Copies of this chain bind each other. A is one copy, B any other.
């Protein structure tokens, strides 16, 4: 009943993601969105509500299609492979990101999340999802001995989450292969160390 839509919602969301992703929330105007999505202002407004609601939909669309997809792809691998593949993916993406869009989730975390509880919750939930993926992989790796038990799985997964965020920030400013690969190389090495870290600073175990 009523006139059917002439546009595909997913296609419109893809275009909206691209706008918000590359320019940020504030810097993206409704007219930008009108131009890139192809549909008119009225259509945008009665299909998605206001600009903020559209950003919210676009963010969810991005998270599901980008991060969720990556997690699903890695989850079937062995623990070490999963973590390595996840970071390998992120690294490749960051280095091929010629127009420096970065990660839309990280951008949101700094642009709109601090001033908006709803978005903060949404970003936190997405981050928690990644953290849970890391935690699952590490627990599994600790169980089969492929990942160090020198530190708690919780600390290690928190650390990996932090490193992941850091990569996305560095890549926006210095998208250099040696830099980003250096960051992850140490992180992955951390997972492989055996035994306890040294408690003393003297040279006692030569």
Closest B residue, CB atoms, query A80: B201
Task: Check if A114 is an interface residue, CB within 8 A of chain B.
Answer: yes
Closest to A122 in B: B173
Question: Copies of this chain, how many?
Answer: 2
Q: Would you call B194 and A151 a contact (CB within 8 A)?
A: no
Q: How far is the CB of A27 from chain B (nearest CB, A)?
A: 6
Task: Decide: A109 near B173, CB < 8 A? Known: A192-B198, A194-B205, A197-B193.
Answer: yes
Q: Which among B27, B148, B162, B182 is the interface contact of A154 at CB below 8 angstroms?
A: B182
Q: What is the bound-complex CA distance between A190 and B102, given in angstroms?
A: 27
0 or 1 for each of A168-182: is its CB under 8 Å from B? (1 = yes): 111011100011101
Please indicate the chain B residues that have their CB under 8 angstroms from the CB of A42 in the complex.
none
Tell me if A73 counts as interface (CB < 8 A to partner B).
Answer: no
Contacting residues, chain B, for A145 (C-beta < 8 A): 201-203
The digit string for A17-44, where 1 denotes a CB below 8 A from any CB of B, is 0000000101100000000000000000
Which residues of A pack against B, CB within 8 Å? Answer: 24, 26-27, 80, 100-102, 106-107, 109-111, 113-115, 120, 123-124, 127, 144-146, 148, 150-151, 154-156, 158-159, 161-170, 172-174, 178-180, 182-183, 185-187, 189-190, 192-194, 197-199, 201-203, 205
